[in-house]
Chains A and B, each alone.
Chain A
Amino acid sequence: MDILNKFEKVHPYSFSREMDHMFVGEYLDGTFLFEYNPEKNFYSSVKEVNNNKLIRFGLVGNGLRTYFNALNGIFTFDKNKIEILYKTKEKEYKLTNNNVIYNDIIYFKNAYSEMRFGGVSNTGFCGYNYGYKAKVSFDDGTFFYFKPIVNIPMGQPANLKIWLVSNKDLDGEIIVRVNDLKTYNIHAPLNKNIGGELTWFIRM
């Protein structure tokens, strides 16, 4: 664990009682942008995150810290390291930890409003999502558009949605590698320029 990782020291509960999780952006200079500022009592939009200064971006809430590192795209979920690769018979393509900056961030909350028998109206958040999109290129001319999103639905297991498209037909598998040790291989053949998405339930 990186000594300079200040994200791991952030109180792992949402600072606002209006939501279970909130986004946290950690900057290279050690400062933060929190979705909710309890001192000044206001919310910030994800559009206000300064992507150029970003080092880590993710969520805290319900005792959980989860984020990715904008320099290498590697996710951390409750202190577990999650890397993603694409592997064919010939070659292993590292989608995370490649030579790009992973700072095109994505963040949104799932919510609902209902009309309900009994007359009670409510609007609540039912899921929290963060991730990024990146174009990852390789020296054999292959490139991928890669969009991993961590989804934390309320009352259901957290999962990682991996959206992937390549510029070539590839018959390979997506590999999720946890803590440099355990791997989960999912067969995922890709047709040129056709996106595919899979959902992997986060487990260690």
Chain B
Amino acid sequence: MATALKPIVTWWEDYIDVSDGQLKQRPVPNNLWDLGVVDADNNPDLTTHTFYIWNNKKPLGTSEDYTSVPDMVNCRITTKDGTFGTYVAGEMKSPLVKEQWVRVANVLSTTLPESEVYTPIGSELKQGVLTQKDIQITAMGSTDGSGVSTGVISGSMNDGKFETESSKNSYAKAKAQVKVPASANAEENKFIVRVYYNV
């Protein structure tokens, strides 16, 4: 019996469609979260951005070879350095990562808006060792089925629609924001938002 080797991960985001002013979803353009200029000591709420991490989202139209892929298990989200200045992609040394400027709230179907908790992610010193600091993320979870286990994004076939209850097992919703400390230097920052998982 053949199985797919990898989950098929795509990143989507909320945006406002200027033609009708409605909140819609689209693939993250250029796979890039462009924050523009963020001032030091900013109000993080104004930078809040909603991301969706889909596993095996059904492509538009008919596709005959659409099948199930492995679940993503023990999903964890964190930030890493991008390539800029003297920083090397994938490391954890830039101020944005080390000082944990980015904070993330994982939103489940059952999460009430007032109980969304933002947790800073990046890296931290543990006993003198720079260690990854991440949080676990879980698919939103359908409320009328069995849902998913903690930390899992299902790879089952779905209809690719955000609002379908059963499809909520196939994507995780994460709201991210940036809080730049007052002490930060005015400089360019590039970073990677990464989801680690097991297959």
Which A positions have Cβ atoms within 8 angstroms of B? 16, 18-19, 36, 40, 42-45, 48, 108-121, 123, 125-126, 129
Q: A-side binding surface: helix, strand, loop or mixed?
A: strand
Q: Which of A16, A19, A116, A123 contacts B192 (CB 8 A)?
A: A116
Which B positions have Cβ atoms within 8 angstroms of A? 1-7, 9, 11, 28, 30-33, 51, 53, 70, 72-73, 80, 82-84, 89, 190-199
B83 nearest CB neighbor, chain A only: A118
- Are A18 and B5 neighbours in the complex by a CB distance under 8 Å? yes
Most chain A CB atoms below 10 A, which of B5, B83, B193: B5
- Are B28 and A43 neighbours in the complex by a CB distance under 8 Å? no
Chain B residues with CB under 8 A of A48: 1, 3
Q: Which of B3, B83, B192, B196 contacts A110 (CB 8 A)?
A: B196
Known: A36-B5, A48-B1, A108-B73. 12 other contacts (CB 8 A): A18-B6, A42-B2, A43-B2, A110-B197, A111-B198, A115-B192, A115-B193, A116-B192, A117-B82, A118-B82, A119-B31, A123-B7
Q: Which of A42, A117, A129 contacts B191 (CB 8 A)?
A: A117
Chain A residues with CB under 8 A of B33: 115, 117
In the complex, 17 of the A-B residue pairs with CB atoms within 8 angstroms, ordered by the A residue number, are: A40-B2, A42-B3, A44-B2, A109-B198, A109-B199, A111-B72, A111-B196, A112-B194, A112-B195, A113-B7, A114-B194, A115-B11, A115-B31, A115-B32, A117-B33, A117-B191, A118-B82
Nearest CB of B to A29, in Å: 20
- Are B199 and A108 neighbours in the complex by a CB distance under 8 Å? yes
Inter-chain CA distance A116–B193, complex, in Å, is 6
B196 nearest CB neighbor, chain A only: A112
Inter-chain CA distance A184–B90, complex, in Å, is 33
Q: Which of A19, A112, A117 contacts B5 (CB 8 A)?
A: A19
The answer to whether residues A119 and B194 also contact, given A43-B5, A113-B9 and a CB cut-off of 8 A, is: no
Nearest CB of A to B129, in Å: 13
Chain A residues with CB under 8 A of B194: 112-115
Inter-chain CA distance A42–B1, complex, in Å, is 8
Inter-chain CA distance A16–B6, complex, in Å, is 13
The answer to whether residues A121 and B198 also contact, given A42-B2, A43-B5, A108-B73 and a CB cut-off of 8 A, is: no
Count of A-B residue pairs with CB < 8 Å: 89
Chain A residues with CB under 8 A of B6: 18, 111, 123
A109 nearest CB neighbor, chain B only: B199
B5 nearest CB neighbor, chain A only: A43
Chain B residues with CB under 8 A of A112: 194-197
Inter-chain CA distance A36–B2, complex, in Å, is 9
- Are B32 and A111 neighbours in the complex by a CB distance under 8 Å? no
Nearest CB of B to A201, in Å: 14
Chain B residues with CB under 8 A of A111: 6-7, 72, 196-199
Inter-chain CA distance A120–B82, complex, in Å, is 11
Inter-chain CA distance A109–B9, complex, in Å, is 15
Inter-chain CA distance A45–B53, complex, in Å, is 23
Nearest CB of B to A115, in Å: 4
Closest 3 CB pairs of A and B: A42-B2, A119-B30, A113-B9
Chain B residues with CB under 8 A of A119: 30-32
Inter-chain CA distance A121–B9, complex, in Å, is 10
Inter-chain CA distance A126–B63, complex, in Å, is 30
- Are B53 and A114 neighbours in the complex by a CB distance under 8 Å? no
- Are B9 and A120 neighbours in the complex by a CB distance under 8 Å? no
Inter-chain CA distance A14–B91, complex, in Å, is 27
Inter-chain CA distance A43–B196, complex, in Å, is 22
B1 nearest CB neighbor, chain A only: A48
B31 nearest CB neighbor, chain A only: A121
- Are A120 and B31 neighbours in the complex by a CB distance under 8 Å? yes
Chain A residues with CB under 8 A of B5: 16, 18-19, 36, 43
